[in-house]
Structure 1
């Protein structure tokens, strides 16, 4: 099984393997990736939602350079709300994640020049194993009724909150059912605010972080446009 940061999982789902171009909402992806960094820290027991703020409860690094830089900064800084953290983290985060993925050979940077002077970067997949593992976990979660692990449940919730469900590349006749199942996963994990955290399939501390970040993403994106 591959090991990859949650923000990287979102990015790989959003980028087309062949063209190397991002699909869907740019702001949605950036907000989702910012949230994903914080969720990874919550999953490792480093941050928690306390009295309306995300606070560091353990400053020990987790071994991911981006998450550890955020953790160190958060430990030194005053506490911020989930919405404030999303705005603080989303700028240039995508660039840093892409640079890390390129350095590890997961994607490659194709620098093209258009009109003689405009540089356009594409990031086609080089090593498909990472994304295959991600899509496999999501496919299992979508097609079974059993409990989902914390990490996959968090990823499913972020996909809904950021409106990235088209990245699943499901046929139209399966999209509605998949959306319903993703919302069921979020509710069962206590991520949607509709379940008692004591009944959550994940740790209440993690559920609180994901739920508050999900609401902050929804508020930042505003009401969805009519179909």
Structure 2
């Protein structure tokens, strides 16, 4: 599974198939997740002192195929824009529709189920409830171990936590489902209060800032955050002037 696919599974309601988070910027977040994965795989990086280019610009370390079509297409975009700043990569990779394609792939593999319907009996809609939640349950268990129990991190889980933190969703996705349930948690049956969610979000932010991540991974996560902040500002401005 891609980190992107884990993020999508966590942010889709298993029963209704609806997104449990704001899906307005899902393709941009997906683009950032692909960049993070390429950085973890050692494919994409930021130029350093010995690279003969401007420090902090995009550089491809390994152009060989990854074996995953979405990742390879994202890598092609990175190669075509080598020498750019990280923020220049999110929009062109988002044009590949990575989130929509990843959801379709999860359905083809039997992880999600496609359900067609209509809103108000008129507008067509598609939902993606869970068909096989075993992998998602495993991911949630890893997140619980790290974010609640303080368990040891691996790079992949840390990257997923950083993306959830960038989108403000770490506490929400843990409260929304999984083995622990939405209303209560195992340690004493304490409810998922706002304070508890904020504590999980705080731990996620701490992880995102920790030294596990390469400079490239941190830069790509920062670009995800920037996209969402810009979108939130635009939405707030539009609401205030309407």
Q: Residue 52 of structure 1 aligns with which residue?
A: 56
Task: Select the residue among 30, 46, 55 that pairs with 2:27.
Answer: 30
- Which consecutive residues of structure 1, in runs of 5 or more, have no partner in the other structure? 189-199
Q: 1:175 to 1:115 in 2, by over 3 A?
A: closer
TM-score, normalised by the number of residues in structure 2: 0.78
Q: List runs of 5+ in structure 2 lacking aligned partners.
A: 48-54, 177-191, 237-242
Which residue does the alignment assign to 1:182? Answer: 204
| SS of alignment partner, residue 62 of structure 2 | coil
- Contact map agreement 2:86 2:220 (CA 8 A) in 1: yes
Q: Looking at CA atoms only, which structure, 1 or 2, has the larger radius of gyration? A: 2
User: 1:167 corresponds to which residue?
Assistant: 173
- Matching residue of 1:16: 13
**How many angstroms apart in 2 are the aligned matches of 1:118 and 1:177?**
39
- Match of residue 192 from structure 1: none
1:71 aligns with 2:75: yes
Deviation string 1:26-73 (CA, Å, 9 cap, x unpaired) is: 234333221111111111111101223222110112222100121134
State the match for 1:134 in structure 2: 139
Write the mapping of 1:39-118 to structure 2, written as runs, cut at 5 A: 39-50=36-47, 51-91=55-95, 92-115=97-120, 117-118=122-123
Cα 1:78–1:143 change in 2 (3 A) is closer
Deviation of the 1:175 alpha carbon: 0.7
Higher mean alpha-carbon deviation, 46-55 vs 59-68, is at 46-55
CA distance in structure 1 between the partners assigned to 2:25 and 2:173 by the alignment: 12
Query: Once the two structures are superposed, what CA deviation does each residue of 1:123-169 show, in whole Å capped at 9, x if it has no partner?
Result: 00001011111101100101333541111111111111112232222
Indicate the SS of the match to 1:121.
Answer: strand
Q: TM-score, normalised by structure 1?
A: 0.82
1:217 corresponds to which residue? 224
Structure 1 residue corresponding to 2:214, chosen from 197, 207, 217: 207
